[in-house]
Amino acid sequence: MSMAESLVPYEPQPGQVALRWLGQGGWAMRSPDGVVWCIDPYLSSYSSRPDFQRLAPAPVEASAVQTDAVLCTHNHSDHVDPLSLPQIAQAAAAARFYAAAEGAQKMRDLGISAQRIQTVHVGDRSVPVRAVSAYSTDVTADVVYASHSGDAVGYVFHVGAAAPGAGRPLRVYVTGDTLYDPQLVTDATRGVDVLCICINGRMGNMNHEEAARLAGELDARVVIPMHFGVMPHNTIDPQLFLDALQAQGIHAQPRILQIGETALLGR
């Protein structure tokens, strides 16, 4: 097993995606063709709070991450981690980095080469997710609106090449940090197969009841809550989210992951 495969240890088949929760808003994912990408990998204990201690350790060392791409949703330090990203850039020398303008500038300030950074914008569609040296990929991303700070974005990943007879790609929506906002519901986000959604209800994020409402409005098939269990001052019991789904009659299938756990999901 390669280091990239050990980061996301399951091997998805066509119509599937393997995803591993890294804690907070962070994910590592793997496609049927073996493309590995990370979203918002917060793997350090960096914080502006001098007494900060993680509630749970990071499931992997940043210096051990082998990935084809890293996509960040906004420039806060638990999303563009100033300690983890330079280590990942060194360990995964061919990885490409994606962010909106503020996050891209922070990446450059951290010493990541501008040639490895791709700036994205809300409304971008079918952005190839691939290593710097790669010519092909079976993963693309739609860059979607997020109601948070600055130029925050979310990503809808299309996983699996749409080869003849293969059916449509699997769609995975990672909201990033965001308040509830009707503008989150668009043609790009409706009907996703997997929704990874913040639920903590603090610091510019929707709460568990709003997250349940959004899952219903999107008609998501599987919903996975995130952004809890790492920061003592910014967490929530995910059972409240499960209760809200039931109370609102939302039919999305919930999946609660432990930090570091990998799931294999498909249509």
User: Which residue type does 50 have?
Assistant: P
Helices vs strands, H then E, count in the chain: 5, 14
* Distance in angstroms (rounded) separating the CA atoms of residues 115 and 11: 30
* Distance in angstroms (rounded) separating the CA atoms of residues 131 and 128: 9
68 in Cβ contact with 94 (< 8 Å): yes
Give 161-180 pLDDT, tens digit per residue: 765 556 789 999 999 999 99
Return the pLDDT at 51.
83
Give 38-63 pLDDT, tens digit per residue: 999 999 999 888 888 989 999 999 99
* Distance in angstroms (rounded) separating the CA atoms of residues 210 and 251: 15
Residues making up the chain, counted from first to last: 267
Lowest-confidence pick of 23-37, 135-149, 208-222, 224-238: 224-238
144 closest CA partner among 182, 185, 106:
185
SS3 114: helix
Distance of CA 54 to the CA centre of its chain: 19
SS3 254: strand
241 closest CA partner among 179, 199, 192:
199
Lowest-confidence pick of 87-91, 148-152, 199-203: 199-203
Return the pLDDT at 163.
55
Give 63-86 pLDDT, tens digit per residue: 999 999 999 999 998 889 999 999
Return the pLDDT at 231.
84
pTM, two decimal places: 0.96
Domains of the chain: 3-253 (3.60.15.10)
